[in-house]
Chains A and B, each alone.
Chain A
């Protein structure tokens, strides 16, 4: 026997919603959903924007300050060096033309007095190249500086970075006085090359300090950013929770309106909408309640006269034998219809109980096959129905309601389907590993029309307009559905493969070993 596995969303979804009006309280989904953080949500964007502004301002300030201070540090060093170099050179006598030996001595004298740091001094005169060091020419001095020193009657300097070490190179043309206010180039150009490790260290320390100053600024900016984000997000979050709460059925949900900003307006609008919605829903509920109560009251009121009538149908039936034929027919008609009316009212009462959620489940642990067998035997259907009922399936169910379910389905198949009618019992495992009791009632009739299928469990739905009310109240399948749902199960109707009749499948959770009622 093949049995279909229940859809995973069957009873677990429906079960609770059918059991009483207690659909309030935050669900699990809500709890987890509320804490979800989006990567680029409002909070992230607000904080990012804040941080960006803070970073730009802090960074710009730091950068500008850094540059100014750096330039000041370097400028001081440079000015000191240039003027010191000039002063040093001024102290010196030159023999023109120069000779190399004298020149080297002179250069060494100048080099010793380097300020703020020792420097190397190079000289060019004619074809003479001399220095205070070992190499007569420098690799640091650029052609540009040399050109400048040779072509302009003024001192000049250039910072050069070579192998990661910054150098200050100074070019100094040497002139001599030839009269008052008149000078003449000697043709000598002196260069000083001064490494600047200390300045470099200072500047780097300055950079680190600027950065370190800017970073706490960013961290501090995070606080107002979070506060601002929170002030925006809290109403948004409240609104979301309120909306979800409304969706969950709590129509009395309202939001506290704070302040007078746009979000407050939104909250106010939400509250007004919620109030309107609650009012409408309450009216609908009241109307529904009135309708339900009316149906219930009507059937209640019908029961009392029916009780008297039904008790005397037997008297009528037997007494009819002695009457003339027309009267006898009338009496029998009344008797028969009274019985049907009683069934109809009884079914209406049952439906009313389901609607009022007053139906209770009185479960007992039973052998499922035995229960179905009793149902068939009791209605003397054993010979009409083929039963495939494996023994040993014990489950907890309400025997009376299960009897109604099976009786309604089998009765329906016998009336509207074609023989043979088969009742199958089995178990199946759900998607989550739960065990299910599966009951199938199949017939070999014409099946159910596709336009009828969606409504087959509707109340008073007549599949065939010509089909009279003669058998059944029109509530049988609706009651079946409610009874199955009460068990936390599902029932569905389908046509068998190849148009071989209708198949009704009832799936109910297979429960064992629970406490008796």
Chain B
């Protein structure tokens, strides 16, 4: 996209320590280039050329984050994404060569937390990685560790949520969105605000990130996703948590 987004303000590198990254990418030059760039920035990078190889490496390598190309021979990126999401809260960032809208939407629906359009500079890729990996910061100090909202229990320090006592498997972006919205119940957040705070886009992000994430979250926490209680839409303004 023109003009190319500049890196976010220079956070100290140690905000996120060296991360263990798994890159699944079929094109050797991209695979090697991205690996080189990220390793140069001090991350530990493992690469895989196919989805199957990537899934195998996942168990063994136990990465902090998965960089996933959507266009893969054999098992494609969306399938890999679904497979990972079935059993894990591993942060996933899609790499898409196309930026084509349909691919992005499908990838986000499959559970990806964010996406990067190729080609991208290493600093852009790392900024996204950092944003996804950043620990959620507690807005208020004096709050109880576990909050209850209806049937929903949210553990802010343990970064987990449960409904009716049953633990929910939430992707990092879903968890962060839920924490952010529930921290200020009944307050309306525009999608740009959410992109800024949850996805750390200081710049105009893609609002579909929010919409897809809200849909996924509703599917997990709402009784009837079609008429949500927890994550409510305010037409023309954005989203809010409650009122219950």
Contacts and interface: CB of A to CB of B under 8 A. Distances in A.
Interface of A: 300, 303-315, 318, 339, 342-343, 345-347, 349-350, 353, 358, 360, 362, 364-366, 371, 374-375, 378-379, 396, 399-400, 403-404, 407-408, 411, 473, 475-476, 479, 512-517
Contact of A307 (B97, B100, B236): B97
A375 B204 CA distance: 8
5 contacts: A309-B119, A310-B33, A314-B121, A342-B119, A403-B204
Given A308-B30, A400-B204, A347 B119 contact: no
Contact of A312 (B37, B192, B204, B233): B37
B6 A378 contact: yes
Most buried by B among A305, A342, A350, A364: A364
B207 A517 contact: yes
A365 B239 CA distance: 13
Interface of B: 1-6, 27, 29-34, 36-38, 40-41, 97-101, 118-123, 125, 190-192, 202-208, 211, 233, 235-238
Listed residue (B38, B100, B191) with the most chain A CB atoms within 10 angstroms of its CB? B191
B216 to A, nearest CB: 16
Contacts of B118: 303-304, 306-307
Given A304-B30, A314-B40, A517-B211, A350 B119 contact: no
A281 B121 CA distance: 43
Contacts, number: 142
Contact of B192 (A314, A366, A515, A516): A366
B95 to A, nearest CB: 8
Nearest to B121: A310
Contact of A514 (B38, B40, B236, B238): B236
B202 A378 contact: yes
B123 A308 contact: no
Given A314-B122, A339-B121, A305 B190 contact: no
A374 B203 contact: yes
Contacts of B205: 400
A177 to B, nearest CB: 126
A29 to B, nearest CB: 34
A400 B34 CA distance: 26
A473 B207 CA distance: 27
Q: Indicate the member of A300, A360, A396 with the most B CB atoms within 10 Å.
A: A360
Given A303-B97, A307-B120, A342 B4 contact: yes
Given A515-B235, A516-B238, 20 more contacts: A303-B97, A306-B118, A306-B119, A307-B27, A307-B119, A309-B33, A310-B121, A315-B37, A346-B2, A347-B2, A350-B1, A362-B206, A364-B190, A378-B6, A379-B3, A399-B204, A400-B1, A400-B205, A513-B236, A516-B191
Given A300-B97, A362-B208, A515-B235, A307 B3 contact: no
Nearest to B40: A315
Nearest to B118: A307
Contacts of A339: 4, 121
A311 B120 contact: yes
Contacts of B37: 311-312, 314-315
